[in-house]
Amino acid sequence: MSRTRRVLPGHRGTLSEVYSPRANSFGVLRLLLASSVVLSHVWPLGWGPLDPLWRYSGQQTDVGKMAVVGFFVLSGFMITGSGARITAGRFAWHRALRILPGLWGSLLVSALIIIPALYYWLHGSLNGYWNHPQGPLGYLSGTWTTAISNGWDISGVIAEGKARGTNFDGGVNGALWSLKYEILCYVMIGMLGASGILQRARKFVPMVVAALGLIILNDWINSPTWRRIPGDLASAVEIPALGSMSVRSVIVLVFAFLIGGTFQLYRERLPVNDLLALGSAAVLAASLAFGGFFVFGYPAFAYLLIWLAVRLPKPFQKIGRKRDFSYGIYIYGFTVEQALAMLGYAKYGKPVFLLLALAGTVALAVLSWYLIESPAMKLKNWTPGFVRKRLGAGAAPAAGGTGTDPAATGRHGTAQPGPEPRPQETSGVSA
């Protein structure tokens, strides 16, 4: 007589069984997270204080920073699969195409259109804008790698807004702070994939997650209160090309990213269970209310996001699949809100300010997708001529050895090993 495996109520199968690369809700989740960033910034950019979750959580997080965690989890899940499948060169090319063209476009729009317009509105002319000690060219040269090495302002425009009392943050685009942490995670995954660790020693990834979790747990236990951010906020490390990075931010964001990566690597063992998702939601809420968000809330939030990605109804699966505006919303939202604040739109209240911010941000995000991001991603399978000649001159390479990944159909490359249809990657846009 065959023995039936016992499962908990609400069990839907393993993630490997339930997840479909062509029928999931990652797109709508990214849009919600990106929109949450815009929502979160309404309070500090229009009025000064952080959004209400900051107070509710005992200064552990706010809505925007929580969205960052969500982006890193989703990005870790999708991109770890890609790093395990394609060559390091192709992986780096895909990642660069997804992040850099859109970023550079947003920097040019800010430095050459939006901020000059605000400067003109403040001064009645552009005299002094282009040759300012902290002018647009310096801003572009210090920001194109995400290092923000030449400061956050351009030609003193935001500083003047602060002096006038209309603006409360000193940056043209403060949302760019986490992009370099994401790029660091990409480099890490690329190295793990190139070394074969993702393919042949996948236990290494959850071991790193456990080690980082222990560091966060120790900091949390030793913190003065359980409802504060664990770790030393002042400690920083210099990373080539990326600039100064907070050690605490590296630890917690890599922790979130690799939780998603672990879910990807062990998807055949990860249960998709409705009761487990409900429990995760309860743990997340409790960690926000009573403390331990970084220790317990991160894993709970990560599981809840993956569960939503595979369990939301089918209508949600169509949102954001062909046209992914989430990255554009991320890279333009902060600047749009700074402009609205400087022009005095905060006086109309938070709902109007939010609607105007979303309208302007989405318009720019749509343009960014159609004019920059989508055309750039069409180059993902491009191979330089000298590489094609070198490959053609040698013996037939092993499967996957060329790095051209010709079977890729998703606009962002591949993320699912094996012969099954492969999913679209995501950029883990951050706030």
8 A C-beta contact, residue 330 and residue 34:
yes
Pull the structure tokens for residue 355. 């609607």
Q: Which of 229, 204, 246 is nearest to 298 (CA)?
A: 229
Predicted pLDDT of residue 278: 96
pLDDT digits (tens, 9 = 90+) for 183-200: 999 999 999 999 999 999
* Residue 247 and residue 215 in contact, taking contact as beta carbons nearer than 8 Å: no
pLDDT digits (tens, 9 = 90+) for 301-346: 999 999 999 999 998 988 877 889 999 999 999 999 999 999 999 9
pLDDT at 401 over 60: no
pTM (whole model) above 0.85:
yes
Judged by DSSP in three states, 155 sits in coil
Contacts of 3 (CB under 8 A, 6+ apart): none
Strand 271-273 and strand 243-246: pairing?
A: unpaired
Question: How distant is the alpha carbon of residue 274 from its chain centre?
Answer: 26
- Enter the tokens of residue 381: 């399978």
CB-CB contact of 183 with 99 (8 Å): yes
Distances (CA, A) of 415 to 49, 79, 421: 39, 6, 10
